[in-house]
Amino acid sequence: MNIELFIQRAEALHKQLADLYQTASVLPWIPPDLLPQAFKELYSNSKLVQLAAEELYHQNEELLQTRSLLEAERQHYYNLFEFAPDGYLVTNAEGIIQEVNLTAVKLLNAPKHILLDQSMINFIRLEERESFRGELNQLLQSDKVKELVVRLQQFHGESFDAVLTLAVVRNQNGKINSLRWLLRHINERQQKDLGLVNNENYLSQDRPIYIYPKGENIPLNPLVIWYVRQGLVKLSTFSETGEEVLMGLAKTHMVFGSSMTSLPIYQATALSDVELVSINSSEIAVTPMLSHILLPKINQRLRQTESFLVIAGRRRVEDRLYHLLKLLQQEIGESVSEGIRLSVRFTHEDIANACCTTRVTVTRLMGKLQQQGLISFDSKKHIIIRMLETRS
């Protein structure tokens, strides 16, 4: 039922009960001692329904606002993917292309609608396909990022030397969701320099390291991208009512910055003591190796933003809390004897802001999960997540 319609009906019911009470109070056959108590209870209950409807309306407005903010963030990251200087593709586990950006379209020399649903194997030269399948099968058995130097054949055109950087994305049950392919045209000299690719030390080399203690706000410059060398950073914005809205978490080896979002208000806060490296956007534009390393990290932030968007879109608060805990478990969880411990402490207010609900509601639901033995807390009040039941 539409929330506005529900509120209108609740108000109409409240008014009808008041009118009924006035009418019934003058009827001679109704015992005078029964009437006040009965109508008092009805009137009180209708008032509670009316208040609950208003609270539901406000929560729904906050949820819609958060969803809109997250959708804007997702669109911004999609644009970064689409116009990235390196070719980028997403396939299923069988290598069938599902997404492809403009650079990959140019490199493979085919329209996007032609490339979609094509197999990546079709762009490998015939004499290399057998060894390529072997390398791909090995990759599917591990979670390591792997680089392959291959000779690719354009859809219409010539062949060229390329480096493919492949990464496997799995769901929470360990099943492969998709494969991520980073595609670059390379020459002979660049092939000799491939040892630098995906080397985290390269991002810290000859750049100053900035240290921010837990709880401190991190300054944002539109010309700078921060690389998290160590620690965890909370990324948030604020709604029209002034409430903080969690937009993401930048953990070790991730990147963030105000240039990576279209939100007018964007805040970064250290959730632990952090070490950051400053990378100027002008350097990225003239250093292909740097853009090659950063693109998968930007895509990682895109996937995380989409996860928060899915959480915000769920109607039931219980479902939003459940999936938030699963996401936090995946992003910042560490194994302990009791289960998976979140590496930083989140207050009920933090969780309520992320779930678009009230702190009181989160406290009640967290207490319920604790009674069921699904979560617990360590001596520092860090959440420990045990086996959560599968939920769609």
- Is position 161 within any domain? yes
Same domain, 184 and 205: no
**Count, residues in the chain:** 392
Query: 128 near 150, Cβ under 8 Å?
Result: yes
The answer to the question of residue 302 being in a domain is: yes
The pLDDT value given to residue 211: 94
Q: Are 161 and 57 part of one and the same domain? A: no
Q: Write the CATH number for 295.
A: 2.60.120.10
Sheet holding 159-170, edge to edge: 97-100, 87-91, 176-185, 159-170, 146-153
Residue 160 lies in a domain: yes
Does residue 88 share a domain with residue 25? no
* Per-residue pLDDT, 36: 55
Residues 140 and 188 in one domain: yes
In sequence order, the 6+-apart residues with CB closer than 8 A to the CB of 33 are: none
**DSSP state, residue 124:** B
Query: So what's the pLDDT on residue 226?
Result: 94
Domain closes at, from 164, 196, 228? 196
Question: Which residues of the chain, if any, have pLDDT below 50?
Answer: 1, 34, 188-189, 191-192, 194-198
Residue 146 placed within a domain: yes
On whether both 72 and 101 belong to a single domain, the answer is no
Q: Are residues 165 and 153 in the same domain?
A: yes
Domain boundary, last residue among 59, 76, 93: 76
Q: Are residues 308 and 322 in the same domain?
A: no
Q: Structural domain of residue 215, as residue ranges? A: 200-312
For the record, the structure tokens of 100 come out as: 């492809």
* 390 is a domain residue: no
CATH of the domain at 121: 3.30.450.20
Domain assignment present for residue 391? The answer is: no
Buried b (16+ CB within 10 A) or exposed e, 33-72: eeeeeebeebeeebeebbeebeeeeebeebbebbbebbeb
**Is residue 208 located within the same domain as residue 185?**
no
What's the pLDDT score for residue 199?
Answer: 54
Work out how many domains the chain is built from and give that number: 4
DSSP state of 231: S
For 84-99, the pLDDT digits (tens) are: 778 888 999 888 999 8
pLDDT reported for residue 9: 63
Q: Are residues 208 and 177 in the same domain?
A: no
Distance, CA of 248 to CA of 345 (rounded, Å) = 15
Pick from 166, 196, 226: which residue ends a domain? 196
Both 295 and 253 in one domain: the answer is: yes
Q: Does residue 181 share a domain with residue 97?
A: yes
Same domain for 265 and 280, yes or no, is yes
Structural domain includes residue 364? yes
Residue 70 lies in a domain: yes
Instruction: Specify which residues 179 forms β-bridges with.
Output: 91, 168
